[in-house]
Structure 1
């Protein structure tokens, strides 16, 4: 079984319950040899599935605590939605990799925010769902809040925030 097929099967399996990484379980579940099960258990793909499962569980719990509807039907739907979002902020179009470099160079310093993409509800009055959620940078997510709709924020502030991050990284401006 190739890695891509194995990943798809494991996402589906993980969607039905807990994240499992045990070589013994993987071997039995997917009819793998010892070496195949070991390789999959220690793969980057498995680490990514684990990270996504953690994001899913955390967001679902947070939504429940806050009384916000969580409309992703399961981990599988969430996983493929997240993967389809790409590697840029929905609002300012900044690559998350660039934002990571900006934070690493300490050009932006925050006790609360970092370069990790945020799962943002475009309409803060609606729940978390495929149609209402996007990935954003911490700057846009924090700035947008619930004061304006997604399209107005994107059109009027998104480009400016993207330019700010790019200029900061290129040493055109400073933030100290």
Structure 2
């Protein structure tokens, strides 16, 4: 197994980001890792048999995947994150825009700015940053590359599991585009 594969396994499969996870991974008594290692970096260097500079280089190689993993990973979507390369290839095909209405990540951020720092009208934190979301095309199927797309929070929330993809595109996407244009042109909030 390559160092990259071993790093991926420790960081993303085993999710070792705290000493307790090291104890669990090594099957040690709780608290052992904290006495054995001064830092998590020391654990990674020892386990991977690399130095600090090599560890920094590994983290740099994984930075883009890590950013997307931090933004999108949850247990339901676990299958999408099994390997970095296929996930990044899938993500790049999404073009950082909503699969339905076409609004871009940049335009969503503009809406957040126009709404005084929140995407939502009621100032609740969920979806407040205006980040594109991973949406299942068919709600009855799992989170797979063939069944998932990026979607804006508006389309994802409104379509939910209530409206088919075809129905959403035919009846609601034109109205969503008109709505976004009115916000972006500062006609309404």
Q: Which bracket does the TM-score occupy, shorter chain normalised?
A: 0.5 to 0.7
Counting only pairs closer than 5 Å after superposition, residues 1-176 of structure 1 correspond to structure 2 as: 10=4, 15-19=8-12, 22=41, 34=53, 38=56, 41=59, 43=60, 46-55=62-71, 57-58=73-74, 61=75, 63=76, 71-72=79-80, 74-76=82-84, 77-106=86-115, 108-110=119-121, 111=124, 112-114=126-128, 115-171=130-186, 173-175=187-189
Structure 2 gap ranges (5+): 17-39
TM value normalised by structure 2: 0.64
Question: How far does residue 46 in structure 1 lie from its aligned partner after superposition?
Answer: 4.4
- RMSD between aligned residues: 3.4
Aligned length: 154
Contact 1:93 1:159 in 2 (8 A): no
Q: Structure 1 residues 55 and 142 mapped into 2: Cα distance closer, same or farther (>3 Å)?
A: same
Structure 1 gap ranges (5+): 1-8, 64-68
Question: How far does residue 24 in structure 1 lie from its aligned partner after superposition?
Answer: 9.9
Partners of 2:11 and 2:43 in 1: CA distance: 15
Partners of 1:151 and 1:13 in 2: CA distance: 42
TM value normalised by structure 1: 0.68
Q: Which has the higher contact order (CA 8 A, sep 6+)?
A: 1
Question: How far does residue 164 in structure 1 lie from its aligned partner after superposition?
Answer: 1.1
Higher alpha-carbon Rg: 2
Q: Output one character per residue of 1:103-144: Cα deviation in whole Å (capped at 9) or x when no partner.
A: 122174341323111101111111100111110000000110
